[in-house]
Each structure stands twice: as structure tokens, then as C-alpha cells.
Amino acid sequence: MPALPRRALPLLAAALARPALAQNSYPDRPISLVVPFLAGGSTDIAARILAERMAPKLGPNARIIVENRAGAGGSVGSEWVRHRPADGYTLLLASASALGTNPAAMPAQTPYDPVEDFTQIAIVGGGPMVLVVPAQSRFRSARALLDAVKAEPGRYSWATSGAGGIGHLTGEAIKSASGNLQAEHVPYRGGSAVMEALAKGEVDYSLEVLASTAPHLRDGLSRGLAVSSLRRHPLFPDIPTLDEIGLTGFEISTWNLLVAPRGLPAPIARALSAAVRSTLEDRAVAERMMAAGVDPAAPSTPESTRAFLAAEVAKFKAIVERAGLRLGR
């Protein structure tokens, strides 16, 4: 190959540098971080903490703006993000309901594939579900409650923040693991409505995320009987795990993942993932998230996040099949 003329070398160098310069310019305008729920919930709080502390790690002029697009257990906001350009300027802080239980339990009402239609970036955090009863309940332990439900099929009722959500599928998994219990499921619109109904004694028990139950547990309005993680939670160390009370190996947690529309360039995905990792390593961030009921996740990569999501979707689909649920089909 003949040597290039000397005057061509600067032009070649400039041409080769352009992609790198374009890459290094990200982000050059505000990033929208979509929360598929109303403001004030645990996902929204985590998003705002993340947006505030993560933006400086992307560049001195980076800005992340939280945008709430609620509806259908997170599906509305997720579907909206799916159709945005895959350029790194629209992100989604997804929940276990939006990308896990909804697609598993209500596929006809969930117009996207949770794994294939998004680019997975990082695991942000999560937390256990809590088996809760009213403060005035006669049940003082999870074992006593489950034994009573088994002894009198159909007598007891339980509430969650929506059909097909993480609380619903956790409750169905508990019923299956306890010998196919029979109890009436009563869906409410949101965790706050569930906890209010529980405090009034409208239902016998509930499965709700820690963020929703924590204030009521602290105020004595409700009583926590068990958590769905394999380890007790540091905020409530006196509440045993379901594994401890005889449901060996039982583990279901809610979670938040940072994702983008499918096709996000790998360098941008890696940069965002690294920024999340660095943000979660900040002790002040971790403490603020834990106070909101979201335990910061261990370091993750786009690849490990995708594998995690695929495994969670498969787990929830298995619960739906075992329970024989037919929601919106």
C-alpha cells in the first residue's frame, strides 16, 4: 500500500477522531428519567436521589430531569419510553411490576417484551415484600396466619396495590408454597390505599413493599409478620423471614432497574452504568435510599442487569402458571 501524502495525515486523524469526540460530548442536553408511577412513591424518590447525585458523574454540565408518566402498574410509562430514540436522553427507572410481574401476569395488556424491547443498564436497588396484618389482628405470627387460612379456605381476605403486581404475585407464591391456600384477593389502587384499608380492618392481611409498610409499622398502625427476603431487614430486625417460618428458600423482592429504549449504543450504556455504580457507592446516597425503602444494589453491568431481568421474568411467569392466574387474557 503506497504511503499517504503528508498533507492527508491531519485530515485522516480528524476523521478518525470524530466518533470519539461525538461520544465524549454525551450528554450535551438534559436527560429525561421517566418514573412510571405518581410522584411520592419509593421508585419516584429513588429516581430523584439518583438524578441529583448521578448527573455530575456524567459531566460538569449534565442534567437529569425526573418525569412521571403513571398508569397501568408502570406499563404506560414503560411503553412510552420504549418508543423514544435510543440516544441516551430518555431513560426509565423500571420496577418489578412494570418489567416483571405485569408482562408475566397480564401479557395481553403489556405491549412490550421486558427484556428484548429495552437496553438494560444497571440494577439500582430493591427490597423485600412484607406480610402485614392490622394492629388489632389476633395473629401474632406468620405461621399462625397461614395455618388459619389453610384451616378455613375462603374465609380470609388479603389486599395488594393491584392485580398482577409484585404484591399479588408474592401472595400467590406464598399460597402455593403453603399448600395451595384459598383466600380472597382484594386489589386496591396503590400502596397507601392498601395500608389505609388494613389499618381500618377491611382485610385480614396484605403483601406490600417495605417502603409502603414502614411508616405504618413504625406508628403501630399495622404489624409485620414476615419479610420475603432470605435475610431479615435492618430497618425491622425483629420481623422474621418467610424462610424462617417454614417456607424454605422463599425469596421474592421488588426492584428498580435503569433501562433505555432498545438499541442504546454500548459506550453510552457503559457510561451510565458506571455512573450508577459510582452514585450508589456514596454513603449519603445509600442512606437516603434506604430511608425511602430502597436498598442500594450491589455493582452491576448492562450484561448482568439483563441476565437478572430475564431470570426475574421467568420466575414470575412460573408463579403465574402455578397459581393458574388468568388476568386480562
Q: Are residues 142 and 120 in the same domain?
A: no
Whether residue 67 lies inside any domain: the answer is yes
Residue 42's pLDDT is 83
Whether residue 22 lies inside any domain: the answer is no
Whether residue 235 lies inside any domain: the answer is no
Is 8's pLDDT higher than 60? no
Query: Do 235 and 290 meet the contact criterion of CB atoms below 8 Å apart?
Result: yes
CA distances from 152 to 147, 157, 163, 183, 262 (A): 9, 11, 23, 9, 48
Lowest mean pLDDT among 177-186, 290-299, 305-314: 290-299
> How many C-beta atoms lie closer than 10 Å to residue 126's C-beta?
21
User: Which of the listed ranges 160-164, 185-189, 259-263 does the model predict with the highest average pLDDT?
Assistant: 259-263
Average pLDDT, the chain: 90
Q: Are residues 132 and 222 in the same domain?
A: yes
| CA-based nearest residue to 294, from 124, 120, 161 | 124
Q: Read off the pLDDT band of 13 (50, 70, 90).
A: very low
Is 32's pLDDT higher than 80? yes
Is 94's pLDDT higher than 90? yes
Share of the chain above pLDDT 70, in %: 92
Q: Are residues 38 and 87 in the same domain?
A: yes
Q: Read off the pLDDT band of 192 (50, 70, 90).
A: confident
CATH of the domain at 133: 3.40.190.10
Question: pLDDT tens for residues 249-303?
Answer: 999 999 999 999 999 999 999 999 999 999 999 999 999 998 887 899 999 999 9
What cell was used for 180? Answer: 395451595
Q: Read off the pLDDT band of 328 (50, 70, 90).
A: low
Q: Read off the pLDDT band of 177 (50, 70, 90).
A: very high
Residue that terminates a domain, selected from 211, 227, 243: 227
Gyration radius from the chain CA atoms: 22
Is 211's pLDDT higher than 90? no
Is 40's pLDDT higher than 90? no
Does the CA dihedral 65-71-73-74 come out positive or negative?
Answer: negative
Q: Are residues 220 and 265 in the same domain?
A: no
User: Which of the listed ranges 64-73, 105-114, 211-220, 303-312 does the model predict with the highest average pLDDT?
Assistant: 303-312
Q: Are residues 139 and 96 in the same domain?
A: no
Domain span at 103: 29-126+253-323
Residue that terminates a domain, selected from 227, 242, 268: 227
Whether residue 51 lies inside any domain: the answer is yes
Residue 19's pLDDT is 36
Q: Are residues 215 and 132 in the same domain?
A: yes
Q: Are residues 100 and 134 in the same domain?
A: no
Residue that terminates a domain, selected from 227, 244, 269: 227
CA distances from 275 to 48, 151, 329 (A): 15, 52, 40
What cell was used for 92? Answer: 426509565
Split into its structural domains, the chain has a count of 2
Q: Are residues 114 and 143 in the same domain?
A: no
Q: Which helix (H) or strand (E) holds 34?
A: strand 31-35
Whether residue 152 lies inside any domain: the answer is yes
Question: pLDDT tens for residues 106-152?
Answer: 998 899 999 999 999 999 999 999 999 999 999 999 999 999 999 99
Q: Is the pTM of this model over 0.75?
A: yes
172-210 CB burial, b ≥16 within 10 A, e <16: bbbbbbbeebebebbbbebbbebbebbbeeebbbbbbbb
Q: Are residues 307 and 222 in the same domain?
A: no
Q: What is the average pLDDT across 31-54?
A: 92
Whether residue 40 lies inside any domain: the answer is yes
Residue 303's pLDDT is 98
First to last CA, the chain: 64
Whether residue 233 lies inside any domain: the answer is no
Whether residue 248 lies inside any domain: the answer is no
Q: Read off the pLDDT band of 21 (50, 70, 90).
A: very low
Q: Which residue has the higher pLDDT, 214 or 189?
A: 214
CATH of the domain at 55: 3.40.190.150
Q: Which amino acid belongs to residue 8? A: A
Q: Are residues 78 and 110 in the same domain?
A: yes
Q: Read off the pLDDT band of 7 (50, 70, 90).
A: very low
Distance of CA 123 to the CA centre of its chain: 9
Residues 6 or more apart whose CB falls under 8 angstroms from that of 315 comprise 252
Q: Are residues 43 and 67 in the same domain?
A: yes
Q: Which amino acid belongs to residue 325? A: L
Q: Are residues 109 and 152 in the same domain?
A: no
